[in-house]
Amino acid sequence: MADKVLPRHLGIIMDGNGRWAKQRGLPRSAGHAAGAEVFKKMVLYCNRIGIQYLTIYAFSTENWKRPQNEILTLIGLFKIYLKDALTNFLSENIKVRFLGDTSVFDPQLKELIDDIKKTSAGKTGMVLNVALNYGGRAEIVRAAELLAEDVKAGRIQPEDINEKMFTSKLYTTGQPDPDLIIRPSGERRISNFLLWQSAYTEYLVMDILWPDFTTKDLDRALDDYATRNRRFGGI
């Protein structure tokens, strides 16, 4: 990968777990379990090839609309893999951050999230952003609320607000915008993911369900990215 132009910040929308399970006559929970294994493999691989920032869309603000048993399955898997992250990811020098409102989760999950953030705070390798209870619109509203509080407290004036200041109130503050977002499963939607940050992001939709996604598929996506001419509105 040394001679390939890699995205500095890669985003992945993990999609297709339910359909993968349905195709095999399995419960949706089996698809989520298979997808969680792929998540772990992709994180370790991205760190190994030199991706500096990886943002994984794990659970959106809209996912609460799913059946209760499926939500409980997902939360159970989060606990399993966050415990795993305390050993595998951190031993790989990966710094883990969380995007979204994690205050709504149960005490055990919140404790795991806090433990991982504290334990990985001093790591210097790849930054892994796990988007949990995350929505792009909610993030933008939150940033606006934080700026409004600053104005109300007299710390800033409304005319002081600009894009740089707004960006500083986002969950991804201090990080570069994503260069590439990959969406497996063939669905052609943004799905409320990194709306502000992805203004000039390259997108790639791949017709493969997330549990079937492999490192070769990721390599193929990165090869495609390397051929793109990013103009950022210029010529």
Residue 105 maps to which CATH number?
3.40.1180.10
- The mean pLDDT value for 123-134 works out to 94
Q: In the numeric block, which tokens belong to residue 112?
A: 């795991």
The answer to whether residue 233 sits within a structural domain is no
Q: From the candidates 3, 15, 162, 179, which is the catalytic residue?
A: 15
pLDDT of residue 197: 98
| Distance between first and last Cα of the chain | 28
Overall domain count for the chain: 1
- The mean pLDDT value for 64-82 works out to 87
Q: In the numeric block, which tokens belong to residue 80?
A: 């399993």
The answer to whether 8 touches 53, Cβ cutoff 8 Å, is: yes
Q: What is the mean pLDDT of the chain?
A: 92
The answer to whether residue 232 sits within a structural domain is no
Q: In the numeric block, which tokens belong to residue 143?
A: 């940033």
Among 44-53, 80-89, 141-150, which stretch is predicted with the lowest mean pLDDT? Answer: 80-89
Q: From the candidates 47, 63, 160, 217, which is the catalytic residue?
A: 63
- The mean pLDDT value for 111-136 works out to 94
pLDDT of residue 203: 97
The answer to whether residue 4 sits within a structural domain is no
Q: Is 63 a catalytic residue?
A: yes
- The mean pLDDT value for 211-221 works out to 97
> 102 by DSSP, 3-state: which?
helix
Kindly indicate the confidence band of residue 90, based on its pLDDT and cuts at 50, 70 and 90.
confident
* Residue of 152 and 91 predicted with greater confidence: 152
Beta bridge partners of 139: none
How far apart are the C-alpha atoms of 117 and 109, rounded to whole Å?
12
The answer to whether residue 56 sits within a structural domain is yes
**At 13, phi and psi to the nearest 5?**
-95, 105
Structural domain containing residue 63: 9-224
pLDDT at 1 over 70: no
pLDDT in tens, 141-160: 999 999 999 999 999 999 99
The answer to whether 97 touches 123, Cβ cutoff 8 Å, is: no
Specify the pTM: 0.93
Of 96, 99, 100, nearest in space to 119 by CA:
96
Q: Is 15 a catalytic residue?
A: yes
Of 45, 17, 93, nearest in space to 221 by CA:
45
How far apart are the C-alpha atoms of 149 and 175, rounded to whole Å?
23
Matching residue, tokens 């095999």: 24
The answer to whether residue 200 sits within a structural domain is yes
The answer to whether residue 1 sits within a structural domain is no
The answer to whether 57 touches 191, Cβ cutoff 8 Å, is: yes
